[in-house]
């Protein structure tokens, strides 16, 4: 009986139901990253494209102005109204998703590649770590899908972009309002981030042979530093 061939599509399913199996196969097939990368970008960009065509844009502009510091609001309000147009805002946001994705994965890959060189003897290339970064973040597609479903089910189109993150700590636990000190930081961290970090710990452990504790420290360190500094400034 011929053994079933493991494909990139099997890996996509297994990242959810059997991440260890998926990560073992991804390590051997680093070129597979194009599929999850393009799907993730398409869904993330598509959600924002739909959002800016759906949201009450005049309301959105006024909300943006109201979030400005009081001392800048009087002088900058009219400039913001003139600058923010549906088309330009939509395409800048879509472009930011595309460019930001590549930059984020590249930085993550550099960090993980250096961490591996310094802490283990595993022979892994930068390209493998780039693939690792893309794959472990692939579950972010569920955040984009949830955001689209949220818009389809919403009773109003006067909804902030942050509200699309339905699994954010703000939506689930903090419940801060726009303008509150913890609103941005709580809205930016989601259960999907927790899922991604767990996948990264599993993957780093399996790929390098490092202990779970060492892998956890390496994976969480950048996040602890970023959010720790951000929280200290709130």
- Characterize 181-193 residue by residue with b for buried, 16 or more Cβ atoms within 10 angstroms of its Cβ, and e for exposed: eebbbbbbbbbbb
DSSP-assigned beta bridge partners for residue 190: 168
- pLDDT score for 3: 54
Tokens 């909300």, located at residue: 63
182 by DSSP, 3-state: which?
Answer: coil
- pLDDT score for 178: 81
Mean pLDDT in each 10-residue stretch from start to end of the chain (234 residues)?
A: 79 97 97 97 97 96 86 82 93 96 98 96 96 98 97 96 95 90 94 98 98 98 96 90
- 3-state percent helix, strand, coil for the chain, nearest multiple of 5: 80, 0, 20
Rounded to two decimals, the pTM is 0.93
Strands (E), the chain: none
CA-to-CA distance for 150 and 165, rounded, in angstroms?
9
- pLDDT score for 76: 84
Which of 232, 220, 226, 217 lies closest to 196, judged by CA? 220
111 by DSSP, 3-state: which?
Answer: helix
- pLDDT score for 209: 96
- pLDDT score for 173: 95
Helix (H) or strand (E) holding 51: helix 34-54
Six-digit token string for 194: 């927790």
Q: Is the dihedral of CA 88, 61, 143, 194 positive or negative?
A: positive
55 by DSSP, 3-state: which?
Answer: coil
Helix (H) or strand (E) holding 217: helix 212-233
Q: Burial, 195: exposed, middle or buried (Cβ in 10 Å; 0-12, 13-18, 19+)?
A: buried
The answer to whether residues 10 and 107 touch, using CB atoms and an 8 Å cutoff, is no
């Amino acid at each position: 009986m011929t053994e079933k061939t493991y494909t990139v599509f099997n890996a996509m399913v297994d990242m959810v139901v059997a991440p260890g199996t998926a990560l073992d196969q991804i390590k051997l097939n680093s070129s597979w990253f194009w599929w999850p990368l393009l799907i993730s970008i398409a869904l993330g960009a598509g959600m924002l494209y739909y959002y800016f065509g759906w949201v009450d844009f005049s309301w959105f502009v006024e909300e943006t102005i109201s979030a400005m510091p009081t001392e800048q609001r009087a002088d900058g309000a009219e400039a913001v109204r003139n600058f923010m147009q549906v088309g330009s805002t939509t395409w800048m946001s879509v472009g930011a998703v595309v460019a930001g994705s590549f930059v984020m994965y590249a930085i993550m890959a550099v960090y993980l590649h250096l961490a591996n060189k310094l802490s283990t003897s595993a022979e892994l290339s930068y390209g493998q770590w780039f693939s690792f970064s893309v794959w472990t973040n692939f579950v972010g597609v569920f955040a984009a899908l949830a955001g689209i479903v949220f818009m389809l089910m919403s009773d109003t189109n006067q909804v902030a972009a942050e509200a699309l993150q339905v699994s954010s700590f703000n939506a689930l636990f903090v419940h801060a309002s726009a303008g509150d000190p913890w609103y941005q930081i709580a809205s930016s961290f989601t259960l999907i981030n927790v899922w991604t970090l767990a996948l990264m710990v599993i993957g780093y452990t399996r790929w390098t042979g490092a202990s779970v504790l060492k892998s956890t420290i390496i994976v969480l360190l950048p996040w602890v530093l970023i959010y720790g500094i951000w929280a200290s400034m709130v």
